[in-house]
Amino acid sequence: MLNWLSIRFVLFYRTYAPEKIRNRCRHTPSCSKYTLVALKRFGFVKGWNLGLRRIYRCRPPNGGIDYPPHK
């Protein structure tokens, strides 16, 4: 249930957040896409842990291609 709500929250953000904020991500895929993949792959706790750590890393001089680890 929490995982489903989390995925819905991220999808809501991707749809309605201002474009100015969404286009600032320095990584590929974007931080929200990374969080979606992590939530689907690892579940609620580890998915959010990976997603929030990714958002924390998303500042200069960091950037580049970065995907969640495999199980």
Kindly list the averaged pLDDT for each block of 10 residues, start to end, along the chain of length 71: 93 91 81 93 95 83 73 66
Predicted local confidence at residue 10, as pLDDT: 95
CA gap 28, 3 in Å, rounded: 23
- CA 39 from chain centre, in angstroms, equals 9
Instruction: Answer whether 0.85 is exceeded by the pTM.
Output: no
Predicted local confidence at residue 11, as pLDDT: 95
- CA 21 from chain centre, in angstroms, equals 13
Predicted local confidence at residue 61, as pLDDT: 64
Predicted local confidence at residue 71, as pLDDT: 66
